[in-house]
Amino acid sequence: MSLRSAVLLACLLGAAAATGAVDPMRRTMVVEAVERASPAVVNISTTQVIERTPFPGATDPFFDEFFRDFFDARPRRSEQTSLGSGTIVDADGTILTNSHVIQRGSRIRVTLVDGREFDAQLVGADADTDLAVLRIKADARLPSIALGTARDLLIGETVVAIGNPFGLSHTVTTGVVSALGRSLRSEERTFSDFIQTDAAINPGNSGGPLLNIRGELIGITTAIYGKAQGIGFAIPIDRARRIMRDLVSYGAVREGWLGLAAQDLTEQLARHFDTPTGIVVTDVEDESPAARAGLARGMVIVAANERPVRTMSDWDQVVAVTGPGDTLGVTVLDDDERRSLRITVGTYPESALDRLASDGLGLDVGERRDGLVIEGVRRDSPAARIGIKEGDRLLAVAGRPVSSLQELRQALYPVRHAGSVLVTIGRGPYAYAVTVPLRRG
């Protein structure tokens, strides 16, 4: 720096200090990103009404008369409040948050950074991806965060998280992208394709934004790893965008169907196909989108939507952001020839899932007001051999509770290629979990 430049800079800094202006050197990209995004980060509080009986035996008919004579055994109501965060993604008041933030809430209240409060309408929620969409109505357009992409994230790049941990409104933390494509297992399901970050994420941050250095939304913070410090996770915005689109348009997430199964290349397969990376197609369903596009067993997928596919994790990340009607471009190796194919993503036929229940399991299932009932058991079927009877209740399939035929189809879809499936049967006051083989053909 020349002497003249140094003197000029000193004069500017001195003038800024004299006028109370902020030193421009302190206004980093992180500061600017936070200033742009903060108005669109909201506090979400939910209220749930809980009914409790004052004594455990108060609901037992044997003790009912005793408690009624000597105590007030009526159920007592209390309100339970939970806190989380949300991100306004459209000026019309559309908000992205986590499903677990708003689940079981009878009232959802949204508070903006300027203190305005709104009752929010639940547009839709999907527990499998832990995402929910809310909407609030305001007199004017609301501040929103620009949506970015997580497809080009770099390990080590700076990210910013904003949320309301422990009720501390608009807390900002920074860190880096620690890893990509992480999977987490809960008691009920497995979540995949998370962004891992060391930006501090605490209870109350859930549903808040993860931003890149430009202030663009690249993820929805969703979980902390309780056994360690400095490990948090976020749902990539590319997946969240598709889920939000389905929830807004259809009220539920539509499952895309390609109709192919694949696996990572083993060392032996890599030598056979003469490629170090990729995934090999192990099965293609008849009349499926993959079959119509020309894919066949034994082909090796090396790229999808112009992204390299090295492992099944890469493939799952690409497929996760596609839905029915989308086009997926794949590059395959077929007999040493490199080919480009285009798959139009479809939806799995409901009739095929119904046949899987009737022919594969041997169950004719009917939908009643109080849930699913076994209306018939096919003779010599897997269900009949297990001992399932007409009149039993079907409570869960593959660990997922089912109370409607649509929920039954959704539960059967992921296990349609399995050799067996765990079902929970209700008979009288009891529930039994049994593994039932899936019959083919």
- Coil vs helix vs strand at 159: strand
Q: Are 343 and 295 in contact (CB under 8 A)?
A: yes
3-state SS assignment for residue 254: coil
- List, in order, residues 6 or more apart from 24 with CB less than 8 Å away: 12, 16
Q: What is the dihedral of CA 268, 269, 274, 280, to 10 degrees?
A: -160
3-state secondary structure of 79: strand
Contact indicator for 362, 421 with CB cutoff of 8 Å: no
Catalytic annotation, pick one of 206, 246, 288, 381: 206
Q: Are 274 and 304 in contact (CB under 8 A)?
A: no
Of 309, 133, 163, the C-alpha closest to 232 is 163
Q: Is 100 a catalytic residue?
A: yes
Contact between 390 and 375 (Cβ < 8 Å): yes
Cβ-Cβ contacts under 8 Å for 137 (sequence gap 6 or more): 93, 118
> Pick the catalytic residue: 45, 82, 130, 144?
130
Identify each DSSP E strand in 27-164 by its residue range: 41-52, 76-90, 94-97, 107-111, 117-119, 121-126, 131-135, 158-163
Strands, E, within 165-208: which ranges? 171-185, 190-197
Q: Which residues contact 96 (CB under 8 A, 6 or more apart)?
A: 86, 87, 89, 131, 132, 133, 207, 220, 240, 244
Say which of 45, 82, 85, 100 is annotated catalytic: 100
The kind and range of the H/E element at 250 are helix 237-250
Residue 320 and residue 194: Cα distance in Å, rounded? 11
**DSSP-derived secondary structure letter, 374:** E
Alpha-carbon Rg for the chain in angstroms: 27
DSSP assignment letter at 305? T
On the CB side of 175, CA atoms within 13 Å amount to 21
Task: Identify the three-state secondary structure at position 69.
Answer: helix
Catalytically annotated residues: 100, 130, 206
